[in-house]
Amino acid sequence: MSKPFGETNWRAMNQQELDAGLNNGTAVQGSADISAGWVKRSDEIKAKYPGHLELSYGPAERNKFDFLKAADGGPTLVLIHGGYWQMRSKDFFTCFAAGPMAHGINVAVIGYTLAPEATLDQIVAELHASVDALVEQLPALGGDPARIVVTGWSAGGHLTATTLAHPAVKGGVAISGIYDLEPIRHSYLNEKLKLDEAMSRRQSPLMQDGGPAAPLSIVVGGGELPILRQQSADLAAFRASHGLPVTYEEIPGANHFTVMAELESPTGRITTLIKQMVERI
């Protein structure tokens, strides 16, 4: 049988192979420098839009969001950062508001408590709480609470899929995510995440009976690790098999980090997908 994505049977891998198969930072040369560039450009865009930063949506220290206003009364994109639920912060990701904002889409960049301080159940609940707060606060901030879409990268791709179930979310674009958490549970990443089998199944979109009815576009880089490419394709097939609206595509040649250029650019493919989704709601 052919393996279009490479070796993706994680259960057949030894521990070293599985850990390497999930380690994007090691797989992408210069990933630390790429991330540092994200922070620098995020600081620059926040300096241009200082009016609504560090707004609270809950009691925890990281229960904050930055709202970048592009158009009065316009739609809002919820942007969720990655880092395997245990690294980074929203301050790495504000730069990716640039693409959508060029099309009159407001952006709310969401922070959340990281593992091990929070379980994945709690992290998913925090993202839902952030949307609750946005629905309440958007009229005063100048956004339309009836036009909310969500996107996120890596762990944020997973959280996009789980936040899609919020009744106020009209659609989502999941980027390079993990949708079956079982390989995570058996890898080095679980030292902080502390998933047990029940939580892994509960929070894995690929282990549910169906999924949210809101449309979901799934994007992954053509040069990403095989397990991530396979999981993205699997979620698209899963949703299609349940009659749920979904699209799937790969960005040719993009790795786990360079794929995000397609969101930062106003003409990037991910920006275009978000623009098209917003136009339909």
Residue holding tokens 């797989």?
A: 27
pLDDT on residue 281: 87
pLDDT on residue 156: 98
Q: Could you say which residues of the chain have pLDDT below 70?
A: 1-6
Cis amide leading into 50 (omega within 30): no
Distance in angstroms (rounded) separating the CA atoms of residues 236 and 238: 5
pLDDT on residue 260: 97
Residue holding tokens 């990655």?
A: 82
271: CB partners within 8 A, 6+ apart: 99, 100, 102, 103, 262, 263, 264, 265
| CB 111, CB 65: distance < 8 Å | yes
Q: What is the DSSP letter of 35?
A: H
Hey, what CATH class is 10-279 in? alpha beta
B/e letters for 91-112, b = 16+ CB within 10 Å, e = fewer, are bbbbbbbbbbbebebbbbbbbb
Encoded tokens for 231: 């999981």
Encoded tokens for 30: 């210069």
pTM above 0.85, yes or no: yes
Backbone angles phi, psi at 256, to 5 degrees: -65, -25
| CB 77, CB 273: distance < 8 Å | no
pLDDT on residue 124: 98
| CB 128, CB 110: distance < 8 Å | no
Instruction: Give the CA distances from residue 243 to residues 158, 170, 211, 246, 266, in Å, rounded to whole numbers and listed in that order.
Output: 20, 17, 10, 9, 31
pLDDT digits (tens, 9 = 90+) for 87-131: 999 999 999 999 999 999 999 999 999 999 999 999 999 999 999
Distance in angstroms (rounded) separating the CA atoms of residues 129 and 149: 15
Amino acid identity at 98: A
Residue 263's closest CA among 151, 113, 110, 182? 151
Q: Which segments of 4-119 does DSSP mark as H helices, in order?
A: 15-22, 24-27, 31-48, 98-101
